[in-house]
A and B are shown apart, each in its own frame.
Chain A
Amino acid sequence: MTATRRVAVLKGGSSLERAVSLRSGAQVEDALEGLGHAVTGIDVGGDLVERLVELRPDAAFIALHGSQGEDGTVQSLMEALGLPYTGSGPAACVRGTDKVLAKQLMREAGIPTPDFQALRQAAIRDLGAGAALPTIERRLGFPMVVKPARGGSALGVKFASRSSELPGAMVGAFSYDGTILLERHIAGRDLAVSVLGAGAGNGEDRERPRALPIVEAVPREEGFYDYESRYGIGMTTFVCPAELPAEITERAQQLAVEVYELLGCHGFARIDLMVDHDTAELWVLETNVVPGMTETSLLPQAADAAGIPFDELVARMLESAFTR
Chain B
Amino acid sequence: MERTGTPGGRGPRATAHELARYESLFAARTRGMKSSAMREMMALTERPDVISLAGGLPDTSTFPHELFERLMAEVSTQTARALQYGPTEGMAATAACIAEVMAAEGTAIDPGEVIVTTGGQQVIDLVCKTLIDPGDVIVAEAPTYPGAVPSFSAYEAEVEQIEMDADGMPIDALEETLDRLAAQGRRPKFIYTIPNFQNPGGVTMSLPRRRRLVEVARERELLVLEDNPYGLLRYEGEPLPTLYSLDAAAVGREGASDLVIYLGTFSKILSPGLRLGWAVAPRPVLEKLNLCKQGADLCSSPVTQMFVGAYFAEQGAWLHHVERLRDLYRARRDVMFEALEQHFGDSATWTRPEGGLFIWATLDERIDTTDLLALARGSEGVAFVPGRAAYMDGRSGASSMRLNFAGIPEPEIREGIRRIGRAISAQVGLLGLLGSPATSAAAGAPKGGSEGRAQGEPLADVVALPRREPGGQGRRRKDR
**Residue contact B2 to A133, C-beta cutoff 8 Å:** no
**Which of A16, A34, A168, A300 is the one whose CB lies under 8 Å from B374?**
A16
What is the CB-to-nearest-CB distance from B419 to chain A, in angstroms, rounded to a whole number?
14
Given contacts A29-B9, A170-B434, A304-B15, contact A175 B36 (CB under 8 A): no
Stretch from B326-334, B362-370, B441-449 that touches the partner: B362-370
Which residue on chain B has the smallest CB distance to residue A304?
B16
Contacts A29-B9, A124-B433, A311-B13: A167 and B40 contacting too (C-beta < 8 A)? no
B19 at the interface (CB under 8 A from A): yes
- B454 at the A interface (CB under 8 A): no
Partner of B31, one of A34, A156, A234: A234
Are B435 and A232 in contact (CB-based, < 8 A)? Answer: no
A317 to chain B: closest CB distance in Å? 14
Categorize the interface residue count of chain A: 35 or more
Residues in A with CB closer than 8 Å to B427 are 171, 174-175
Alpha-carbon distance A37/B367, docked complex (angstroms): 49
Q: Considering the complex, which residues of chain B in the window 412-464 have a beta carbon less than 8 Å from any beta carbon of chain A?
A: 427, 430-431, 433-436
A157 to chain B, nearest CB (A): 10
CB distance from B55 to the nearest CB of A (A): 18
- A41 near B41 with CB under 8 A, answer no
- Closest Cβ of chain B to A237, distance in Å, is 9
Name B1-35 residues within 8 Å CB distance of A. 1-6, 9-11, 13-17, 19, 30-35
The answer to whether A229 and B434 touch (CB under 8 A), given A155-B374, A171-B371, A234-B30, is: no
Nearest CB in chain B: distance from A215 CB, A:
9
- The answer to whether B40 touches A18, judged by C-beta atoms less than 8 angstroms apart, is yes
Asked if B375 is an interface residue, CB under 8 A from chain A, the answer is yes
Please give the distance in Å from B50's CB to the nearest CB on chain A. Answer: 10
| B368:A168 contact, CB within 8 angstroms | yes
With an 8 Å Cβ cutoff, the count of chain B residues facing the other chain is 47
User: Which of A34, A43, A128, A173 has the largest count of B CB atoms less than 10 A from its CB?
Assistant: A34
A interface majority secondary structure: helix
Question: In the assembled complex, how far is the CB of residue B217 from the closest CB belonging to chain A, in whole angstroms?
Answer: 33
Q: Are the CB atoms of B32 and A228 closer together than 8 Å?
A: no
- Chain A: minimal CB distance from B378 (Å): 8
Judging by beta carbons under 8 Å apart, are A155 and B41 in contact? yes
Are A310 and B13 neighbours in the complex by a CB distance under 8 Å? yes
B374 and A301: CB pair below 8 A? no
- In the complex, are the beta carbons of B19 and A295 less than 8 A apart? yes
Q: How far is the CB of A291 from chain B (nearest CB, A)?
A: 13
Contacts A33-B10, A171-B371, A172-B371 known; A232 to B35 CB distance under 8 Å?
yes
Minimum CB–CB distance from A161 to chain B (whole Å) comes to 14
Q: Mark A164-196, 1 if CB is under 8 A from B, else 0.
A: 101110111111100000000000000000000
Q: Please name all residues of chain A whose beta carbon is closer than 8 Å to the beta carbon of B36 when the two chains form the complex.
A: 228-229, 232
- Whether B374 contacts A234 by the Cβ 8 Å rule is no
A52 at the interface (CB under 8 A from B): no
The answer to the question of B44 belonging to the interface, with a C-beta cut-off of 8 Å to chain A, is yes
A235 contacts the other chain (Cβ, under 8 Å)? yes
Q: In the complex, what distance in Å separates the CA atom of A311 from the CA atom of B435?
A: 53
User: A118 at the A/B interface (Cβ < 8 Å)?
Assistant: no
**Per-residue B-contact encoding for A16-31, CB less than 8 Å = 1, 0 else:** 1111101100110111
The answer to whether B43 and A310 touch across the interface, beta carbons within 8 angstroms, is no
Contact B9 A33 (CB under 8 A): yes
Please tell me if the beta carbons of A175 and B434 are within 8 angstroms of each other in the complex: no
CB distance from A296 to the nearest CB of B (A): 7
**Cα separation A166 to B434 with both chains bound (whole Å):** 9
Interchain CA distance A175-B37 in the complex, whole Å: 15
Q: Does B292 contact A (CB under 8 A)?
A: no
Q: How far is the CA of A17 from the CA of B41 in the complex (A)?
A: 8
Contacts of A167 on B, CB cut-off 8 Å?
A: 366, 431, 434-436
Of the candidates B5, B15, B35, B366, the one whose C-beta lies within 8 Å of that of A26 is B5
A104 within 8 A of B: no
Q: With A14-B44, A30-B9, A232-B37 as given contacts, are A124 and B434 in contact (CB-CB < 8 Å)? A: yes
The reply to whether A34 and B13 contact each other, CB–CB distance below 8 Å, is yes
Query: How far is it, in angstroms, between the C-alpha of A310 and the C-alpha of B372 when the chains are bound?
Result: 38
CA distance A310 to B40 in the complex (A): 25
Tell me if A249 is interfacial: C-beta within 8 Å of chain B.
no
Residue of B nearest to A124 (CB): B433
Chain B hits for A166, CB < 8 A: 434
B3 near A26 with CB under 8 A, answer yes
- Given the known A-B contacts A167-B366, A175-B374, are A233 and B35 also in contact in the complex, defined by CB atoms under 8 Å? yes
| Identity of the chain A residue whose Cβ is nearest the Cβ of B19 in the assembled complex | A295
Return B267 CB to nearest CB of chain A, in Å. 26
Q: Does A117 touch B at the CB level, under 8 Å? A: no
CB of A168 within 8 A of CB of B431, answer yes
A121: nearest residue on chain B (CB-CB)? B430
How long is the Cα–Cα vector from A131 to B303 in the complex, in angstroms? 67
Q: A167-B434, A300-B16 are in contact. List 14 more A-B contacts (CB 8 A).
A: A14-B44, A16-B37, A26-B3, A27-B13, A33-B10, A170-B434, A172-B368, A173-B371, A174-B375, A176-B375, A228-B38, A234-B35, A295-B14, A305-B16
* 4 residue pairs, one from A and one from B, having the closest CB atoms: A168-B366, A301-B16, A304-B16, A175-B375
Instruction: Please list 24 pairs of residues, one from A and one from B, whose beta carbons are closer than 8 Å in the complex, sorted by A's number.
Output: A16-B374, A18-B43, A23-B5, A27-B13, A30-B9, A33-B9, A130-B434, A154-B37, A155-B370, A164-B436, A167-B366, A168-B365, A170-B430, A171-B371, A220-B31, A226-B394, A229-B36, A233-B34, A295-B5, A296-B19, A300-B16, A302-B16, A304-B16, A310-B14
